[in-house]
Every structure is written in structure tokens, then in C-alpha cells.
Structure 1
Amino acid sequence: MSDDATPGGPLAELIADAQKGLLSVHLSDDVRVNAEEFAYIERDCEAFKTEIRRLQTIATNISNQKRWGLGEDQAVLTSAKLVVRRFRSKAAVVDSSSDSSNNVHDTLEQHYRIVDDLQQLHRAIAQRYIQADQEFAARYNELMANMPTSPVGAEDR
């Protein structure tokens, strides 16, 4: 994945501004920026994206499933064929001429893009801190080199 904003992504303008150093925030003395938060956001965004792709694969497998066992192979059970068709199209687009994007696979793709944009935004901000603060840079790099596994999707591993 590149450090450039995805064209047309939901946060594309913010990412571009962050890369140019044009974002600013006024923090009170009670708020501190630390490398741990940036490193863990990076790790967990990757884990979320991996989990989304895993779920999309499941949705695709559902849409491609040949036999459902609902009687769809019986000519007299026309409603069974309709139910199977509906299940398939809700999992992922089967027929682009008639199926809508209101399905699990496409909805997950929207989530993927949002997580990817959030990751890119945080990465761009972290890069600005790394360039400006040696202590932040050292801690961030140390954390990234020794990052524990994300709990996201852990129950599926």
C-alpha cells in the first residue's frame, strides 16, 4: 500500500493536507501525543483490513455456492430458486445487470476504504511527528519493530 491518498477516498483531502503539514490541532496541557497510539492505530488498521478481506472472501464463497439444498434444483419449487438467488445477491453481486451494490461484499469494501483512509491519515500525521521529534520517532520505530499481534480478528486465528 502506498502512502498516497486513495483518489476519491472519504478522507482524501485530509490525508493530502496532513502530508503537506497543513493540519493543525490545539492541544491542552492535559493532552499528549504519544507514539504508542499511532503505532497501535497502524497495527489495528492493518488487522481490520485483513479481517474485512477475510469476510469478503466468505461473502464471495456464499454468492458462488452451487448447491444450497433448498430444493432449488426442483423445477416445481420456483420460490426456492428465488430464495437462493436472493441469498447469493445479498452476499455479493452475481449479475451486475440486476444486482445492487447493497450487499455484504460491497458494504465491506466501503468499510475497507474508510479504514484505509484513516490509516493513511494517521500514518501521514505520524510521519510529520517523526520528522519533527526524535524521541517520538525512536519510540514509534521501536514499537513498530516489536509490535504484538492485534486482538482484531484474534478469535478467528
Structure 2
Amino acid sequence: MSGDKPMQGLIDAAKNGQLTVSFSDDLYVNVEEFVYIERDCQAMKDQIKMYQGVAQDISNREVWGLGEQSDWIKSTSLLVGRFRAKAKGDAGGNDVYAILQKHWDIIDGIQQLHREVANRYQQSDTEFAAKYTELMESAPHGFQARK
């Protein structure tokens, strides 16, 4: 597997035409699903970035109102420091911001992989390519509610 990004080996294999999957005769490629995956992955990545902004704001907050500015209450400054580190900046990477980044990386890998597979289909199937292009241009942004 190349790089340390999630799914990079599969993405590279798809780019090089080396990714193969065996299906039964009962399974077919659904163009709409490729479009939904693209849009939903992007919407999820956008939400994660928004939540990372919240974690950043929490980490940067100056006044918490817990008495942390009082010299005689030592535990409040420790508590505030812990809250800040858990929002962003934990030395072990066990903070909200870093964990959300790992989720973003995984979703990005899924999105890239599906893009590569869709590109391959578009190169070999003009009907798929036309439908995919049409749906991508007309699909609303955000999560798609499916039944």
C-alpha cells in the first residue's frame, strides 16, 4: 500500500486499471449510487470541517468562567487546560480535532476510490458517462435521503 492515506493502495490500483471485483449476474452498476456517494462524501467532509472549527474555537477560548483566572483555585486552570487539549492539541492525538481528521481522511479515501472507479466506467461505457455527467450536474448538494 502506498502512502499512509486510507485506501491509497486501492485508489492507486483503480487509477492503474488493476482493481478488479467479481460480481454475480444478478448485480449491475447503478449510476445514481456513484453520484450519491460523491455528494454524500462531500457533505460529510464539509460537516467534519465545520465540527473541527468548533473544536478549534473551544481550544482557543480565552475565558471559561470556571474561576481559571483566580490564583487560589489551581484545579480550574488544570481543568481548562484539559478541555482545551481534548478539543485540539492532545499530545497523544486523542482529541476531537484529530479524531475528526481521521474520519475525514477515511471518507476522502472512499470518495477518491469511487471517483476513480466512476472514471474507469466513464472511459469504457458512454451510456454510463452520459448519465453520470447528467446526474452530477443536476444533483443537489448535501446528504441524499434514500429509502
What TM-score comes out, normalization by structure 2 length?
0.93
Alignment of 1:30 onto 2:30 = no
The residue matched to 1:93 in structure 2 has which SS?
Answer: coil
Does 2:125 align with 1:129? no
Kindly indicate whether residue 54 of structure 2 is the aligned counterpart of residue 58 of structure 1.
yes
For 2:81, the equivalent position in structure 1 comes to 85
SS for the counterpart of 1:100 is: coil
Deviation (angstroms), 1:151:
2.6
Using structure 1 for the length normalisation, give the TM-score: 0.87
Q: Is the counterpart of residue 8 in structure 1 residue 4 in structure 2?
A: yes
Aligned length: 143
Percent identity, please. 47
Equivalents in 1 of 2:79, 2:5: separation in Å? 35
After TM superposition, give the deviation of residue 31 of structure 1 in Å: 1.0
| Runs of 5+ unmatched residues, structure 2 | none
Partner of 2:102: 110
> Deviations along 1:51-89, whole A, 9 cap, x unmatched?
111000000000000000001011111111111000000
Gaps of 5+ in 1: 1-5, 153-157
